[in-house]
Each structure stands twice: as structure tokens, then as C-alpha cells.
């Protein structure tokens, strides 16, 4: 009887050396980092341009009747006019009608809502001492509830003539903005809330209160300078 042959054991594949693994991982990390930087650089300008265009549209939305604008920053309580190329550095935006008269000033405000930061733009008319317009720039609030701060007509009506008068000193609001439950508004400086979206409505009120307490005294004091900028 012929002798049966025993199959030889398969030779296990050689394991890559630690140095090779480290080199490969390093190359992958380097390529990934380069790709991320490249994507960031490619998208940076379009994102900035889209933000700039959205902000420009929002300024005219919150200042009804305005057809032109001027951008300003504030340094040591003094207004410094900026070019359109410097818009991203602006603290406030003055809006003018077709005759060059000052309609009002648009300002940003922000506060923490239910799902994240809420950023808004509002229009302030120094001659009337009222907020005359409002729009949401950024929000991640719950669809159908918190996002009503952007769509609810009754809530948006709060900002057609919201009182932000200064006190006798001219250095503080006579009546800081206050949120109240839906249907409970009795004063012109109160913001009528939204049932089911209380946190979001309160966040908007807080953002506007903090911003107006900071900016309204300064803008009111400099309104003549702002009016001259259209000439």
C-alpha cells in the first residue's frame, strides 16, 4: 500500500511591520487633514458671501421703508463708518429712505434657546424709541414649536412697535423688555409669548433686552451723526 501524503500546513501571511503601519496611518491622517483644509478653503468664501447677502437683505426687512444703508462699528463709544467689504466687522447698520432720511438702525442680538443659540436682527427707530422690525438669522429650535418665533404672525406683531424708551438719564431703558405668557401682554414693552414654545420666546426677549440695554442709549445719543451719514 502506498504511503499517504500529509498535506503541508499553509504558510501564514506575513504581518506588516510596526513601522509600515505607523507610516500608512500617518499618510492617511495627513491626506484627511489636507482634504479637510482644502474643503474649508474652497467653501469659506461662498459661505461668507451667502452670510453677507442674507444679512444685507435682513437689514432692509427689519427697517421698513429703507432703501440704502451704512455700516458702523463702535470704538470707545464713537461711531466709525465701514465699507461694504468690512460688513462682517460691523456692530450696527443704519437704514435710510429714498430722501436720505434716517429710518432706523439694525442690530444683532443672541441668546440660548431650547435647542441652541438663537440669533436675531431687529430694527430700532430712535425718533420713535421703538423696535420696528424683527427677523431670525439663526435658529435650531424644534420644528412646529420653537420655530414659531420665525413664523407666528401674532408673535411677530410684538416687534412692529415694541417700546424701548430711555429713562430721564438717557443712559438706561425706562422699561426693560419683558416676556409674558401668551395673551397676557398689557404694556408696550412686553413680548407676548407662544404657548408650547415658552423657552424660545423667552430667549428672544432676553436677547432683545440685553442688546437694547447696551445699544439703545448709545444710538439715541448719536442719532444726529447717523442721520448725517446719508448726506
Number of domains in the chain: 1
Is the pTM here over 0.75, yes or no? Answer: yes
Do the beta carbons of residue 71 and residue 81 sit within 8 Å?
yes
What is the per-residue pLDDT for 48? 52
Tell me the average pLDDT of the chain.
87
What is the per-residue pLDDT for 27? 82
For residue 188, what pLDDT band results from cuts at 50, 70 and 90? Answer: very high
Task: Confirm whether 47 is domain-assigned.
Answer: yes
What is the per-residue pLDDT for 33? 80
Task: Confirm whether 177 is domain-assigned.
Answer: yes
**Cα distance between residue 230 and residue 214, in whole Å:** 24
What is the per-residue pLDDT for 145? 83
What is the per-residue pLDDT for 1? 47
SS3 sequence of the chain:
CCCCCCCCCCCCCCCCCHHHHHHHHHHHHHHHHHHHHHHHHHHHHHHHHHHHHHHHHHHHHHCCCCCEEEEEEEECCEEEEECHHHHHHCCEEEEECCCCCEEEEEEEEEEECCCCEEEEEEEEECCCCEEEEEEEEECCCCCCCCCHHHHCHHHHHHHCCEECCECCCCCCECCCCEEECCCCCCCCCEEECCCCCHHHHHHHHHHHHHHHHHHHHHHHHCHHHHHHCCC
Domain that holds residue 184: 42-228
Do the beta carbons of residue 95 and residue 68 sit within 8 Å?
yes
Task: Confirm whether 61 is domain-assigned.
Answer: yes
Task: Confirm whether 216 is domain-assigned.
Answer: yes
Do the beta carbons of residue 132 and residue 63 sit within 8 Å?
yes
Task: Confirm whether 17 is domain-assigned.
Answer: no
What is the per-residue pLDDT for 5? 54
Do the beta carbons of residue 139 and residue 113 sit within 8 Å?
yes
Task: Confirm whether 113 is domain-assigned.
Answer: yes
What is the per-residue pLDDT for 229? 66
**Cα distance between residue 94 and residue 146, in whole Å:** 30
Q: With 0-12 CB in 10 A as exposed, 13-18 as middle and 19+ as buried, what is 35?
A: exposed
Residue 49 has pLDDT above 70, yes or no: no
What mean pLDDT is predicted for residues 171-200?
A: 96
What mean pLDDT is predicted for residues 144-163?
A: 94
What mean pLDDT is predicted for residues 139-166?
A: 93
Task: Confirm whether 27 is domain-assigned.
Answer: no
What is the per-residue pLDDT for 17? 73
Among the listed ranges 22-26, 46-50, 76-80, which one has the minimum average pLDDT value?
A: 46-50
Residue 24 has pLDDT above 90, yes or no: no
Task: Confirm whether 7 is domain-assigned.
Answer: no
Residue 87 has pLDDT above 90, yes or no: no
Amino acid at each position: 500500500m502506498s504511503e499517504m501524503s500529509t498535506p503541508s500546513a499553509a504558510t501564514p501571511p506575513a504581518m506588516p511591520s510596526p513601522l509600515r503601519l505607523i507610516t500608512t496611518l500617518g499618510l492617511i491622517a495627513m491626506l484627511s487633514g489636507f482634504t479637510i483644509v482644502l474643503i474649508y478653503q474652497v467653501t469659506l468664501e461662498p459661505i461668507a458671501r451667502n452670510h453677507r447677502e442674507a444679512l444685507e437683505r435682513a437689514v432692509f426687512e427689519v427697517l421698513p421703508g429703507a432703501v440704502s444703508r451704512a455700516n458702523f462699528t463702535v470704538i470707545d463709544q464713537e461711531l466709525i463708518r465701514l465699507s461694504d467689504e468690512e460688513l462682517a466687522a460691523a456692530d450696527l447698520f443704519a437704514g435710510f429712505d429714498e430722501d436720505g432720511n434716517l429710518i432706523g438702525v439694525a442690530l444683532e442680538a443672541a441668546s440660548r434657546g431650547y435647542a441652541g443659540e438663537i440669533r436675531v436682527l431687529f430694527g430700532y427707530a430712535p425718533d420713535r424709541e421703538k423696535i420696528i422690525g424683527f427677523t431670525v438669522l439663526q435658529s435650531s429650535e424644534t420644528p412646529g414649536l420653537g420655530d414659531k418665533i420665525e413664523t407666528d404672525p401674532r408673535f411677530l406683531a410684538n416687534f412692529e412697535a415694541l417700546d424701548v424708551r430711555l429713562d430721564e438719564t438717557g443712559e438706561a431703558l425706562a422699561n426693560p423688555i419683558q416676556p409674558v405668557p401668551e395673551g397676557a401682554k398689557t404694556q408696550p414693552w412686553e413680548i407676548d409669548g407662544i404657548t408650547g414654545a415658552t423657552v424660545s420666546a423667552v430667549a428672544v426677549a432676553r436677547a432683545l433686552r440685553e442688546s437694547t440695554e447696551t445699544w439703545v442709549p448709545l444710538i439715541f445719543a448719536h442719532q444726529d451723526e447717523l442721520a448725517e451719514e446719508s448726506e
